[in-house]
A = this chain, B = another copy of it.
Amino acid sequence: MEKSIVTISREFGSGGRTIGRLVAEKLGVPCYDRELIEKVAGQTGMSEGYVEEHGEAAGSGGALEYAMAGRGPDGLSPDEYLWTRQCAVLLELAKSPCVLVGRCADYVLRDRPDCVHAFIWADPAFRAERIVRLYGETAASPEKRLAEKDRARRVHYRYFTGREWGSARNYTVCLNSGEIGVERCADILAGLVRGTGTGDGEK
């Protein structure tokens, strides 16, 4: 099956966003990251800051916060409403070839055979150095910040998808960007889109 969409799930600080941009450049297709957040904000009336955080991470209350959240007449909490709108935006964007960064796109598009689903991760030391250098995070305790972010994404992913975040079997390919390098990760992913449809030499 020809591939036309790349979804990128990534640990905070692993370089997944940069890899997404590079893959999109190599393939000559749009990369939706910030634009995805803006689009969801536009369609929900929620602030971009709220969509950015709550569209792929649980609040500090974790799973309990989801359970206790106030619900509207439709039975949905704000985060559940956001989830349904975000899914709709992802499905809309995935009508054309593109790269989708974050937002549980691997799950939303799990039954689409034209997708390469990628998970990018790296050791905390690699990510800590990166978030201080590139995102301007304070250097006081970047490891603590990473652990919080990881936990928030894991809880959100489990709540909305019922799956374990970072289990190899959810993705076409998982890459340790700290070991492999950001540029080479992008090469591998672009190659998987370009190369599909070629024969498999196994006898």
A121 on the interface (CB 8 Å rule)? yes
Is B201 a contact partner of A183 (Cβ separation < 8 A)?
Answer: yes
Give chain B residues whose Cβ lies under 8 Å from the Cβ of A30: none
A167 / chain B contacts, CB cutoff of 8 Å: 166-168
Chain A contact residues, CB within 8 Å of chain B: 15, 18, 116, 119, 121, 166-169, 171-176, 179-184, 188, 191-192, 195, 198-202
Min Cβ gap A174→B in Å is 4
A182-B200, A200-B182 known; A169-B121 Cβ under 8 A: yes
Task: Give CA–CA (A181, B197) in the complex, Å.
Answer: 10
Copies per complex of this chain: 2
- Measured CA separation A116–B182 after assembly (Å): 16
Query: Told that A166-B167, A166-B169, A172-B176 touch, could you supply 7 new A-B pairs with CB distance under 8 A?
Result: A119-B168, A172-B179, A172-B180, A173-B176, A174-B174, A181-B200, A184-B192
Give every chain B residue within 8 A of A202 (Cβ-Cβ): 15, 18, 181-183
